[in-house]
A = this chain, B = another copy of it.
Amino acid sequence: MNENMQLLRERLQEIRDLNAAAGLLYWDQTTYMPPAASPARARQMATLRRISHQKSVDPELGRLLDELDPYAEGLPPGSDDAALVRLARRDYERATRVPSDFVARFAQHRAETFEAWTRARPADDFALVQPYLEKTVQYSREMAGFFPGYEHIADPLIDFSDYGIKVSILRPLFAELRQGLRPLLQAIAKKPPIDDACLRQTYPVEQQLAFVRELVQHLGYDMQRGRIDLVPHPYTTMFSIYDVRLTTRASAELLNEALFGTIHEAGHSLYDQGIDPAFEGTPLARGASSGVHESQSRLWENVVGRSRAFWTFFYPRLQQVFPDQLANVPLETFYRAANKVQPGLIRVNADELTYNMHIIIRFELELDLLEGRLAVADLPEAWRERYRRDLGVVPPDDRDGVMQDMHWYYGSVGGGFQGYTIGNILSAQFFNAAVRAEDEIPADIERGEFGRLLGWLQENVYRHGRKFDPVELVERATGRPLQLDDYMDYLWKKYGELYGLEK
């Protein structure tokens, strides 16, 4: 083995270990940490992130990469070493372009903004966060400015989480999606609403958790390399390929949160647990992008987990756990309830169809803010206007309007939302490719067998980690670039049948 490759691996592993430790500090904070520990914990996380950043921009790392270039150029393009050098180079260039004092100032500003948001939101006081958000827009533009040569000012910000995806791709794609969703939503609005009362009964939390714990293991989630804990805002976190933890929440009055929320996080976890163990401790051991990662949570949550076939197998089991609540509820009633479409104010509670509208609204508002066509002061009104137009609902306050999500108050403005809808689109594209390759998958699901689907996804997506750029990975796995056809077909077929619609 090339000696410099060994040195590179050691440096990258050190950065990875620091980030994993910071990740555990965060996981602990949201699960088991005593309440009074917060300020010291924030300091500890900042220390680890700072040291990790210092190591990410160490000029010695740059020199090592320079020395490795001839070696990497001699490798076949599909080799793991070549991918490792390429990614390490990309991460290094990206990190070194942003001056360290900017990183520190922006981090400080983000912490202050988040703190202000936690006070402003419950008080419905947008004026309190407005000056912070104005600064955040400024910082976000400055951040983009460190990456000159972009087509659109949002492109560098999108690049951080969805490498290679540009506004010039997303704007027409999202416009087409909105155009496609509109008639579907209008047709559904004319139909009688689905009755989802069966989901809104009293469901003891402990039994819900026991059920979903079994369920996700049935899908393939490996508890030897993971665990499940309750948190207020669920997420999946990975400390190594051997330690991928899922978090979830549960409501005693609404089955959806634990049920579909846990399947969603299990999708993320299956991806991370499926990465090639040879990549452990390197920058290859992550998902390809935010959008590709989300495609897996959505594939398992929606395409699989809200399908009639899935519940044909699991519903009798669910009825056994909750006989008082469900013994007299037919499968069809439950299936329909799980797929009820209803425009609402809150993104995280949205159904499969309207969810995308929430994202498109945020994405377009971000572009307007970054382009300078919308002032932060006018943002609450713009938000209400879009909601009225696209979803037919108007938030009565800013709490459930423009201050709803933490994203803008915790990170940059730009780059944080597009991945959700890219994920929705890709969920159908990947699933269809899997079924084309293995046509027994739909019948498998009805029998509660997920090995063939999981196997295809592992082989074509998961095991590669970050080895291929997202655009390339999608083409390799599905035979075509990111496109809307599979997703729109999926939606029309499913919701057309559910609501009795003609396209």
Contact = CB atoms under 8 A, between A and B. Distances in A.
Nearest to A17: B47
A48 B21 contact: yes
A239 B32 CA distance: 13
A471 interface: no
B14 A51 contact: yes
A47 B18 contact: yes
A231 interface: no
A185 to B, nearest CB: 42
A280 B41 CA distance: 12
Contact of A25 (B24, B35, B37): B24
B44 A21 contact: yes
Interface string A242-261: 11010000000000000000
Interface stretch (A222-230, A391-399, A444-452): A222-230
Interface string A302-331: 000000000000000000000000000000
Interface string A31-45: 011111111110110
Contacts of A22: 21
A28 interface: yes
Given A21-B21, A225-B34, A47 B240 contact: no
Contact of A17 (B14, B24, B39, B44): B44
A13 interface: yes
A194 interface: no
Contact of A240 (B20, B21, B41, B224): B41
A34 B281 contact: no
Contacts of A20: 44
A14 B48 CA distance: 8
Contacts of A13: 43, 47
Contact of A243 (B14, B41, B240, B242): B41
A500 to B, nearest CB: 46
Contacts of A48: 17-18, 21
B28 A242 contact: no
Contacts of A281: 40, 43
A241 interface: yes
Contact of A34 (B25, B47, B224): B224
Contacts of A40: 239-243, 280-281
Nearest to A241: B40
The 10 closest A-B pairs by CB, nearest first: A40-B240, A37-B243, A17-B47, A36-B224, A17-B44, A37-B242, A36-B225, A36-B242, A21-B21, A40-B242
Interface of A: 13-14, 17-18, 20-22, 24-25, 28, 32-41, 43-44, 47-48, 51, 222-227, 229, 239-243, 245, 280-281
5 contacts: A13-B43, A14-B47, A28-B28, A37-B242, A38-B242
